[in-house]
Amino acid sequence: MEIEKIKINQYGKLDNKEINFKKINLIYGKNETGKSTLLNFITSMFYGISKNKNGKKYSDYDKYYPWNKNEFSGIINYKLDNQKKYYVYRNFEKKNPKIYDENNNDITEKYNIDKKIGNQFFIEQTGIEKEILESTVITNQKEIEINSNTQNNLLQKIANLAESGSEETSYKTVITKLDKLLLNEVGTERSQEKPINIVKENINDYEERINEIKKYKDYKYECESKSNEIKEQLEEEKSNKIIYDKIKILINNDKKEQEKINIKKDIIEENNKKIEKNNKEKIQKDKNKKKKIIIFILMFLILMNIINFILLKNKILNYILFSLILIFLIYIIIKYKLNNSKLLEKDTKLIEENNLKLKKETEKLQEQLLKNNKIEKEKLIKEYGNNINDLFNSGIEEIAEQNKEEINKLELELHKTELDRENIEPKLDELIEYEELLSVEREKLEELNEQTKVFKITKELMQESYQEMKKNVMPKFSETLSKNIEKISDKSYNKIIIGDEINVELENGDYLPIEKLSIGTIEQIYLSLRLSVIKELSKETIPIILDEAFAYFDDDRLKETLQYLNKTENQVIILTCTNREKDLLEKMKMEFNYVEL
């Protein structure tokens, strides 16, 4: 792969900048003129710009957003090893770029789009992700700075590259970190106060509490069962009450009607007594009247005779008066007698007529009462069955009173049972709460167990990958690195062996640990190994970008490195603030492209 051209409309401090590239490219600029900005622009064109701070004070988006204009965009032209050319335009305010082929056809939709990082065109074309690119072919400013820790840092990076293919990733460190992460984020059976230990303690605690409260749950079921049983009995008794009430109403109505009938019968009886009394009174009166009349007549005759004898002494007159008085008296007596008899007879007749009427009414009422009783009784039997037939002949009032007492008793018992059940509810609410908490903790335990499995599987995969790399990849690294170091060191070192340790073979055939070499040689090995890694990881010959990478190289080592870079298949972009590289390239008569920012 080779970058042919870039055009920066505006990116950070770079404004309307266009650069054409060749095999060897030397980008010159004093400090703070935009070399690092240019480097960041190139990677952002391929992978997009990040809006996350990732531990930095500002995100790349905020850091390089233009201050004066709003044309935060650029263009890059490049070709792959198969000579296919591409043209990419990216507006950095948008996530996805526009991609064109050499015939200016828009092929943006050809590539997959990740929701987080956008279009994956460059990853699909080269097979290399941004992190790998930045840890291999791109050497950032002052990355190879010489100080007291330089050798150890370089050795660690070389070991990381050899072990994992990334200078920032150490296999041993990763394994250690995995174990530490497992301990901190999950914990083990032997650990204390770790997530899995806390979860297990919580589970035990909740299970104990649940077992304590479960007895209330059983008691609640007993209360509910008892309550249902009481309700059934109460419902039955209330149903019986309805029957008893209906029978009582029927019997009471019967009594009321019977009372009406009895009243009429009593009237008839009274009338009969009155008739009998009238008859007796009539007979007695007749006898008494006869006696009184006889006595009266006798007394009257005697009186008249005395008067006539003493005063008148007229026999004819005596006879006439006596006769008239006698006739008059007889008339009065007969008339009085007849009147009294007629009155009694009339009164008796009226009473008898009334009795007859009352008797008919009584018979009719009795007949209607029997008929109504039969109808109502048949209705009740039809509705409630033949069993209630006996209730009509029993003491219904006593039965109804017993029913009332039983209802009151059941209602009181039901109320007590309901109160017991209500008092249990708060405890059962706690049970539900603890069961939910237990469920949550068990889910946590399951998740932690899954995490443990993931950690173990990851560790196993890391170990398998490491062994596979040692078996297949490291020999290739050793071979490639040996060729590179022979060229860089002018055949001072012929072979490098990468295993659990990295050793250099000397001219006499002896092996020397890499840490015994000079810092300059270690730097050369480090650069060579990075190039070897990228060759293995990418299907393209990715351009090498070096930002102030040779600030601490002496002239001889720089010369050897430039010669080596010129012989590689990779395009080389060197960012520098000095003229050393330019002077050496011109002195060695190497063709290069010079750009001044």
Q: Quick one: CA dihedral 558, 564, 567, 572, positive or negative?
A: negative
Question: Please, what's the largest Cα pairwise distance for the chain?
Answer: 219
> Does residue 77 fall inside a structural domain?
no
Closest CA to 501 of 487, 516, 484, 486: 516
> Does residue 53 fall inside a structural domain?
no
Q: Any alpha helices (H) in 310-395, and if so which ranges?
A: 315-384
Distances (CA, A) of 554 to 519, 520, 545, 558: 11, 8, 20, 6
* β-pairing verdict for 495-498 and 138-139: unpaired
Closest CA to 135 of 594, 533, 517, 571: 533
Euclidean distance between CA atoms 427 and 422, whole angstroms:
10
Is the separation of the CB atoms in 216 and 423 below 8 Å?
no
Write down the pLDDT at residue 148: 34
Cβ neighbourhood burial of 475 (10 Å; 0-12, 13-18, 19+): middle
* β-pairing verdict for 14-20 and 2-11: antiparallel
> Does residue 495 fall inside a structural domain?
no
Is the separation of the CB atoms in 234 and 409 below 8 Å?
no
Write down the pLDDT at residue 434: 82
Is the separation of the CB atoms in 92 and 61 below 8 Å?
yes
Euclidean distance between CA atoms 221 and 503, whole angstroms:
78
Domain coverage including residue 270: 210-399
Write down the pLDDT at residue 160: 54
User: pTM score, two decimals?
Assistant: 0.51
> Does residue 135 fall inside a structural domain?
no
Distances (CA, A) of 172 to 155, 289, 293, 470, 472: 14, 156, 162, 14, 19
Sheet holding 98-101, edge to edge: 14-20, 2-11, 73-79, 85-91, 98-101
pLDDT beneath 70: ranges in the chain? 140-172, 217, 278-279, 281-345, 347, 378, 383, 386-390, 392-394, 428, 465-474, 476-477, 487-492, 498-501, 519-520, 533-534, 536-537, 552
Number of structural domains found in the chain: 1
CA 345 to the chain's CA centroid? 103
Q: Quick one: CA dihedral 124, 126, 127, 133, positive or negative?
A: negative
> Does residue 261 fall inside a structural domain?
yes
Is the separation of the CB atoms in 86 and 78 below 8 Å?
yes
Beta-bridge mates of residue 112: none
- Three-class DSSP category at 216: helix
> Does residue 388 fall inside a structural domain?
yes
The alpha carbon torsion through 489, 490, 492, 493 (nearest 10 deg) reads 60
Write down the pLDDT at residue 465: 65
Cβ neighbourhood burial of 459 (10 Å; 0-12, 13-18, 19+): middle
Write down the pLDDT at residue 343: 58
Is the separation of the CB atoms in 531 and 484 below 8 Å?
yes
Of the chain, the percentage scoring pLDDT greater than 90 comes to 22
> Does residue 265 fall inside a structural domain?
yes
What average pLDDT does the structure give for the chain? 78
> Does residue 492 fall inside a structural domain?
no
